[in-house]
């Protein structure tokens, strides 16, 4: 199995930042498609960026390849 090289703090911060941006985009898409209550909207705007940011840092390029494949509808 291929192992990723060790990440420095700069790469980790970039992956986290763009993962959070993706999470906000996903929260917006979900929110505008389902019209949730304000509480649910707030939870979406917190949970989606945290999860996407963590996944981007943890899995790196593999996460982004899978997300691009999932978002081909766009």
Say how many CA atoms lie within 13 Å of 24 toward its Cβ.
5
Domain of 45 in residue numbering reads as 24-70
Please state the pTM of the whole predicted model: 0.80
Q: Give the Cα separation of 17 and 14 in Å (integer).
A: 5
Report if residue 2 sits inside a domain: no
Say whether 1 sits in a helix, a strand or coil.
coil
List CB contacts of 60: < 8 A, sequence separation 6 or more: 4, 7, 15
Report if residue 36 sits inside a domain: yes
Name the pLDDT band for 73 (thresholds 50, 70, 90): low
Report if residue 11 sits inside a domain: no
Q: State the chain's mean pLDDT as an integer.
A: 86
Report if residue 64 sits inside a domain: yes
Name the pLDDT band for 34 (thresholds 50, 70, 90): confident
pLDDT for the residue 61: 87
Instruction: Check whether 74 has a pLDDT greater than 70.
Output: no
Name the pLDDT band for 14 (thresholds 50, 70, 90): very high
Q: How many domains is the chain built from?
A: 1
Q: Give the Cα separation of 42 and 19 in Å (integer).
A: 18
Report if residue 15 sits inside a domain: no
Report if residue 14 sits inside a domain: no
């Amino acid at each position: 199995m291929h192992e990723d090289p060790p990440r420095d703090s700069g790469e980790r911060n970039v992956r986290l930042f763009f993962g959070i941006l993706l999470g906000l985009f996903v929260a917006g898409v979900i929110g505008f498609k389902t019209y949730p209550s304000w509480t649910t909207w707030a939870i979406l705007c917190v949970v989606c960026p945290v999860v996407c940011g963590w996944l981007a840092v943890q899995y790196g390029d593999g996460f982004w390849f899978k997300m691009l494949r999932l978002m081909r509808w766009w």
